[in-house]
Amino acid sequence: MLQGMGIPVGKLALYTALGGVRPSACLPITIDVGTNNEQLLKDEFYIGLRQKRATGKEYYDFLHEFMTAVKQNYGEKVLVQFEDFANHNAFELLAKYGTTHLVFNDDIQGTASVVLAGLVASLKLLGGTLGDHTFLFLGAGEAGTGIAELIALEMSKRTKVPLEEARKKIWLVDSKGLIVKSRKESLQHFKKPWAHEHEPCNTLLDAVKAIKPTALIGTSGVGKQFTKEVVEAVASFNKKPLIMALSNPTSQSECTAEEAYAWSEGRAIFASGSPFDPVQYNGKTYVPGQANNAYIFPGLGFGLVISGAIRVHDDMLLAASEALAGQVTQEHYYKGMIYPPLSNIRTISANIAANVAAKAYELGLATRLPRPSDLVKHAESCMYTPYYRTYR
């Protein structure tokens, strides 16, 4: 591991391989603000900045200098993808630069978009609309709250109800229990929209029994939290419970695919953040879905590039989710899948890019004019594909 550089290098490799973005248009960057890891500070081979992590004004001034330089050097249309920022920094930076730069946080927005796509696709199996369902999250960090907000936005858009009303269908559980208005401790700002009127529930099981969710979503980063009792409780009042155990890696998954199917008597619709093998239960093969950000960010980024977008709008994230959900076929549904196979990713990315680009043109945020008549074909024609000549 090159002291953090593996993350941006890997992400940009996926932009090229999965989304068709030219490698020459990509630049991996690590923001080094020091480390509080004493072992690294004493390591003679550590190549990072040998000082304690910068915080407060020093930290934000440095980030502002970086963001200003990026725009000065590369212009209005350069896409900056934020990755692996701590919760409090991630939300502040996205709020600050989302209105002045073309910026995207994969941990907040990419995760939210791929999970929303799974939820939209799952409606074919669950029935009803998003507004007919109740969502309970275990985990209220940047992933959980980011997903919750995007679900509320899509629900508001589809049902024409105010955003505040849509949020009332979504409940979050953190380390202290169900987030409710009567909680005495002060809530972090990104949790406040999810504090609803309700009696306190100290455990996830208590919250499940009280809220009776149709969808249970795990973003806690803590494994084995969807216990047999929890899954059985959700399955007891849902014909087809939706269970999304999204924490990575596999050891931190809230439950396994096999557990979800067995504890729900084969009725669960299951997706996870980590990959799980197909499961045999009562003579039927179930194929677990993987809510992998790689479905979304390459196509989203490519759509921004081919349209010359100057800002990322929430409607573009919704457009990406809807495009991904649209790639799930009846054959996939029969196997219990709510995501298409990743082997089709180039086609998936082209469709996502086209949908995102269409939204950019619709919102007046695109600069590559005139708009192509067929955006899917245009996206496919713009995709970078490595061609290696064989010499004999």
Query: What is the C-alpha separation between 17 and 105, in angstroms, rounded?
Result: 20
- Is 248 marked as binding a ligand? yes
Residue pair 337/328 in contact by the 8 Å Cβ criterion: yes
Kindly give the pairing relationship between strand 289-290 and strand 269-272: parallel
What tokens does 47 get?
């190549």
Structure tokens given for 27:
């630049």
Q: In what order do the strands lie in the sheet with 289-290?
A: 177-178, 170-174, 135-138, 215-218, 242-245, 269-272, 289-290
- Would the annotation count 36 as a binding residue? no
* CA–CA distance, 316 with 266 (Å, rounded to integer): 35
Q: Is 154 annotated as a binding residue?
A: no
174 in a known ligand binding site: no
The structure tokens listed for 218 are: 């795990």
Per DSSP, the chain holds a count of helices (H) and strands (E) of 15, 11
- How many Å separate Cα 287 from the centre of its chain? 21
Question: Which residue type, as a one-letter code, is found at position 323?
Answer: A
Within the chain, residue ranges assigned H as helices are 6-19, 38-42, 56-74, 87-97, 111-126, 142-159, 163-167, 204-211, 228-236, 257-263, 297-307, 314-325, 330-334, 345-362, 375-382
Does 73 count as an annotated binding residue? no
Question: How far apart, in whole angstroms, are the C-alpha atoms of residue 196 and residue 233?
Answer: 22
For the annotated binding site for a divalent metal cation, the residues are 83-84, 107
Q: What residues are designated binding site for (S)-malate?
A: 248, 292
Residues at the binding site are 83-84, 107, 248, 292
